[in-house]
């Protein structure tokens, strides 16, 4: 089985030009099949502020009304995706940017919730939402797919989908065909024990430790729990390795700036 | 030789939801290979206004500074491209949106001019700028490429490129492999003799009539001359048919709402 690297980049990394460049250079040097998935960092907030659009957060989740969806699409599928692709191309990496609508790569359904109307938010399911045929096709002609976190519902509606979930679902769905390694890259060395101490990262988290951490509420920065849920879900569904850390760790397997997850 | 339809849509058509939907539905019904290229309509102006960015036009050409480029990329490659793709997908047309950076499809160079600095504007050359390999590959796996008018210079810089020129260059470069028909669609029935009379369109313009029209300054709405230049250049360089008119004309060859160009 061929190996494939599925690399998710997000957090402040997206907004830090030097770190982003370093990350993309490292990504280019990865040998063999690879896929990049990116989040949007804080650019959506910046643009919403500029355009005077109010941000609405309910229970820690952004509500995506039509105006916000437009900004999400402009930012994720437009400026961030195309600039990443252009940079990768300048490093001789034949990248091709995709939303979930393109080639019908990722089909989602509007989130249903009895209590909250999330608006234009799309959820996906690992074994149903990902069009592996087109992804495999692109990989086989040496194209590097670069996914933004915009999907579609097949009925003409674009939807905002969590980038970690996309990374995890793509990784799982490709694990039928390839040996998949999933790397989450951001601006920290790994999953921190103490959010104020950047050196306090776990070297390793297994599933029972994760359960304990969750129960004890000892964790950590906001958004890390769903990221870890996605990561463990991937491990339980065919993905070989999952790690979280600085971009440096994707290229060098012995690099210690990461948290390795295991079952 | 297989036939291919290269369809450029632009003008107010992009901003008129009903006309756009009708156009995309007609496009979907076209049999065989096809490619869509879209402009940006007035959405860039709307967004620039919202964000308080001043529009700078010199000799009828928009100057693309960095702020304007960002808006162009957000609008063309982001919101317009992805919404068109999602709509086409909803009509069971397996569209895939592309900027010139994606898959290195269209490589341009920054416009050089002794008198005006156009900023982030990219020019292209028919037989050098278009990566026909990747386009052919996508067509052969039944993907419908949908191009926005953003290109790249291969050095990490995105550039704003005229959509008519992109359509014409793609049409020419594919004419080595396919019998190419190039259709320019907008909200008018064709090239108008009198801009105030929507019925005053030419049924046919040949090259010598075009020269006369140009010389006499009898033409027409702004931007039509470069469109016709592109169109005749395509006819002179291998493209079989070129027409300009309402979206209805692309599907029905006997439809009269068009201007046919010939040498």
Report how many domains make up chain A: 1
Residue B218's pLDDT is: 65
Mutate to test the interface with B, among A47, A73, A82 (most CBs of B within 10 A): A82
Q: Which range of residues forms the domain containing residue A208?
A: 3-262
Residue A194's pLDDT is: 84
Report pLDDT digits (tens) over B124-139. Answer: 998 899 999 999 999 9
E strand segments, chain A: 3-9, 33-38, 57-58, 61-62, 95-98, 109-110, 122-123, 144-147, 150-152, 158-160, 179-185, 204-206, 241-245, 258-262
Report pLDDT digits (tens) over B159-179. Answer: 999 999 999 999 999 999 999
Report pLDDT digits (tens) over A192-222. Answer: 988 888 899 999 999 999 998 888 766 656 6
Q: Which residues of B touch A75 (CB under 8 A)?
A: 74, 78
Has the ipTM of the complex gone over 0.85?
Answer: yes
> Are B79 and A87 within 8 A, CB to CB?
no
Q: At CB < 8 Å, which residues of chain A contact B?
A: 50-51, 70, 73-79, 81-83, 85-87, 89-90, 94-99, 101-104, 134, 137, 141, 143, 150, 152, 154-158
- Give the HSE-up count for residue A15: Cα atoms under 13 Å, Cβ half-sphere: 10
Report pLDDT digits (tens) over A17-61. Answer: 999 999 999 999 999 999 999 988 688 888 888 888 888 877 766
Residue A152's pLDDT is: 98
Q: What pTM was estimated for this model as a whole?
A: 0.96
Q: Tell me the average pLDDT across B21-32.
A: 95
Residue A252's pLDDT is: 81
Mutate to test the interface with A, among B82, B95, B131, B149 (most CBs of A within 10 A): B82
> Are B156 and A89 within 8 A, CB to CB?
yes
Output the CA–CA distances (angstroms, integers) from residue A192 to A71, A198, A222, A254, in the order listed: 31, 7, 11, 19
More confident site: B64 or B219: B64
Residue A145's pLDDT is: 98
Q: Which residues of A touch B79 (CB under 8 A)?
A: 70, 73-74, 78
Mutate to test the interface with B, among A102, A106, A143 (most CBs of B within 10 A): A102
Residue A221's pLDDT is: 60
Report pLDDT digits (tens) over A121-162. Answer: 999 998 899 999 999 999 999 999 999 999 999 999 999 999
More confident site: A108 or A226: A108
Residue A82 maps to which CATH number? Answer: 3.40.1160.10
Average pLDDT, chain A: 92
């Amino acid at each position: 089985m061929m190996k494939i690297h599925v690399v998710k980049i997000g957090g402040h990394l997206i907004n830090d030009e030097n770190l982003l460049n370093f990350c993309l250079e490292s990504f280019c040097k990865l040998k063999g099949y690879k896929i990049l998935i990116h989040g949007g960092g804080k650019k959506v907030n910046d643009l919403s502020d500029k355009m005077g659009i109010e941000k609405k957060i309910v229970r820690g989740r952004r509500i995506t009304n039509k105006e916000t969806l437009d900004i999400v699409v402009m930012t994720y599928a437009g400026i961030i995706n195309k600039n990443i692709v252009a940079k990768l191309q300048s490093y001789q990496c034949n990248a091709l940017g995709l939303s979930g609508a393109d080639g019908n790569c990722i089909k989602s359904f509007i989130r249903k919730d009895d209590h909250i109307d999330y608006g234009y938010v799309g959820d996906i399911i690992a074994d149903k939402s990902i069009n592996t045929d087109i992804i495999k096709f692109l990989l086989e002609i040496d194209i590097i797919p670069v996914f933004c976190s915009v999907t579609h519902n097949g009925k003409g509606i674009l939807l905002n989908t969590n980038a970690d979930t996309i990374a995890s679902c793509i990784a799982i769905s490709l694990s039928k065909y390839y040996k998949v390694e999933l790397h989450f890259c951001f601006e920290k060395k790994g999953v921190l024990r103490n959010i104020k101490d950047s050196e306090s990262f776990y070297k390793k988290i297994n599933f029972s430790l994760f359960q304990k951490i969750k129960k004890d509420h000892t964790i950590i920065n906001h958004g890390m729990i769903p990221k870890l849920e996605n990561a463990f879900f991937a491990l339980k569904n065919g993905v070989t390795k999952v790690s979280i850390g600085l971009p440096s760790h994707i290229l060098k397997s012995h690099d210690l700036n990461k948290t390795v997850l295991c079952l």
